A and B are shown apart, each in its own frame.
Chain A
Amino acid sequence: MFLINCPYCGERDQQEFKAGGEAHIERPKQPTELSDDEWAEYLFMRKNIKGVQFERWNHAHGCRKWFNMARDTSNDEIKAIYKIGEKPPTQ
Chain B
Amino acid sequence: MKNKYSIFSLFKNALSYHENWQRAWKDPAPKKEYDAVIVGGGGHGLATAYYLAKKHNMQNIAVVEKGWIGGGNTGRNTTIIRSNYLWDASAGLYDHALKIWEGLSQELNYNVMFSQRGVMNLAHNLQDVRDLKRRTHANRLNGIDAVYLNTEEVKKFCPIINTSQDIRYPVLGGTLQRRAGTARHDAVAWGYARGADEMGVDIIQNCEVKGIKRSGDTIEGIETTKGFIKTKKIGVVAAGHSSVVANMAGLKLPLESKPLQALVSEPVKPIIDTVVMSNAVHAYVSQSDKGELVIGAGTDDYVSYSQKGSHQIVEGTLNAILELYPIFSRMRMLRQWGGIVDICPDASPILSKTSIKGLYFNCGWGTGGFKATPGSGDLFAHTIANDEPHKLNAAFNLNRFVSGDLVDEHGAAAVAH
**Hey, which bits of chain A sit against chain B, CB under 8 A?**
1, 14-15, 18-19, 21-22, 36-37, 39-41, 43-50, 53, 55, 71, 73-76
A75 closest partner in B (C-beta):
B306
- Hey, which chain A residues are within 8 Å of B308, CB to CB? 76
C-alpha gap A30/B273 in the complex (Å): 57
**What is the distance, in angstroms, from A81's C-beta to the closest C-beta of chain B?**
14
26 pairs, A vs B, C-beta closer than 8 Å = A1-B311, A14-B310, A15-B312, A19-B302, A21-B256, A22-B303, A36-B403, A39-B402, A40-B401, A45-B252, A45-B401, A46-B252, A46-B254, A47-B252, A48-B253, A48-B255, A48-B257, A50-B244, A50-B257, A50-B305, A53-B303, A55-B302, A73-B257, A73-B306, A74-B305, A75-B306
Is B243 an interface residue, CB under 8 A from the partner? yes
B310 closest partner in A (C-beta):
A1
**What is the distance, in angstroms, from A80's C-beta to the closest C-beta of chain B?**
16
Decide if A45 touches B244 in the complex (CB within 8 Å): no
C-alpha gap A75/B312 in the complex (Å): 18
- Further contacts, 8 of them, CB under 8 A, given A48-B253, A48-B257: A36-B404, A40-B401, A44-B345, A46-B254, A47-B247, A48-B342, A50-B305, A71-B302
Q: How many A-B residue pairs have CB under 8 A?
A: 70
C-alpha gap A53/B302 in the complex (Å): 11
C-alpha gap A64/B302 in the complex (Å): 17
**What is the distance, in angstroms, from A18's C-beta to the closest C-beta of chain B?**
6
Decide if B305 touches A45 in the complex (CB within 8 Å): no
Decide if B401 touches A48 in the complex (CB within 8 Å): no
CB-contacts of B214-273 with A (<8 A): 241, 243-244, 247, 252-257
State the 4 A-B residue pairs at the shortest beta-carbon distance, nearest first: A19-B302, A48-B243, A44-B254, A40-B402
Decide if A45 touches B254 in the complex (CB within 8 Å): yes
- Hey, which chain B residues are within 8 Å of A76, CB to CB? 304, 306, 308
C-alpha gap A50/B254 in the complex (Å): 15
Contact status of A1 and B256, CB under 8 A, knowing A46-B243, A73-B304:
no
C-alpha gap A75/B255 in the complex (Å): 19
Instruction: Convert B330-362 into 0s and 1s, putting 1 for each residue whose CB lies closer than 8 angstroms to a CB of A.
Output: 000000000000100100000000000000000
- Hey, which chain A residues are within 8 Å of B404, CB to CB? 36
CB-contacts of B379-417 with A (<8 A): 401-404
A38 closest partner in B (C-beta):
B402
Decide if A18 touches B301 in the complex (CB within 8 Å): yes
**What is the distance, in angstroms, from B267's C-beta to the closest C-beta of chain A?**
28
C-alpha gap A75/B345 in the complex (Å): 24
A41 closest partner in B (C-beta):
B252
A15 closest partner in B (C-beta):
B312
**What is the distance, in angstroms, from A61's C-beta to the closest C-beta of chain B?**
11
Decide if A15 touches B310 in the complex (CB within 8 Å): yes
